[in-house]
A and B are shown apart, each in its own frame.
Chain A
Amino acid sequence: GAGVSQSPSNKVTEKGKDVELRCDPISGHTALYWYRQSLGQGLEFLIYFQGNSAPDKSGLPSDRFSAERTGGSVSTLTIQRTQQEDSAVYLCASSFSPGRPGEQYFGPGTRLTVT
């Protein structure tokens, strides 16, 4: 079946503008995760959803970052007043086994460039 999809694949924005990144998880996966990957770095956990609720928002780097999930499926990550240090690849993953460590399947990511 279809894997995790993300859009857009690339986004270039000017400093100070808001951006929205979208994630479509694998059908039937109730858990959804957002990560950030800076150039040459590992993956930094941002936020986790179980259904539509986010029990863990600890990884969001500032109050400019927010995320929501509706209908237990699609999620959007919003970055307000973007800064150059927000430039990174934003990865989404989904999992069938929330609350118990389970396989996370990643999308291809959105490469965000803030100029």
Chain B
Amino acid sequence: GENVEQHPSTLSVQEGDSAVIKCTYSDSASNYFPWYKQELGKGPQLIIDIRSNVGEKKDQRIAVTLNKTAKHFSLHITETQPEDSAVYFCAASVADGLTFGKGTHLIIQP
């Protein structure tokens, strides 16, 4: 089955700086890669996703890149703000269920 590795487990950045979270996956058949943001006490919220027919997707301050050859994908957040503080999860999917990474706790330092 699919295995998703996510790094780092904790990331602390100064407000206004950029943050990058990286994930690798094992199943070359995976073709859908969403990113979720989870705030304390809430369910995960889909923030951006990418399918295997594109290499990069951007939505305002958030971007995701995908390298299918290397089987890794990354989340980039620019101009970080205090409200970006949360746990971020990457995931990969072939057909139905999602396989998640273990999450990255992003801390935005004032």
Contacts and interface: CB of A to CB of B under 8 A. Distances in A.
* A interacts with B: yes
B103 to A, nearest CB: 5
A43 interface: yes
Contacts, number: 61
A103 B10 CA distance: 26
**Could you say which interface size class chain B belongs to?**
20 to 34
A1 interface: no
**Could you say which interface size class chain A belongs to?**
20 to 34
Given A43-B98, A106-B43, A107-B43, 17 more contacts: A4-B43, A33-B97, A33-B98, A42-B100, A43-B44, A43-B91, A59-B97, A98-B96, A100-B95, A101-B51, A101-B95, A103-B34, A103-B46, A104-B46, A108-B41, A108-B42, A109-B42
24 contacts: A4-B43, A33-B97, A35-B100, A41-B102, A42-B6, A42-B89, A42-B101, A42-B103, A43-B44, A45-B97, A45-B99, A48-B96, A93-B43, A100-B95, A101-B32, A101-B94, A101-B98, A103-B49, A104-B34, A104-B46, A105-B46, A106-B36, A106-B44, A108-B42
Interface of A: 4, 31, 33, 35, 41-43, 45, 48, 50, 55-56, 59, 91, 93, 98-109
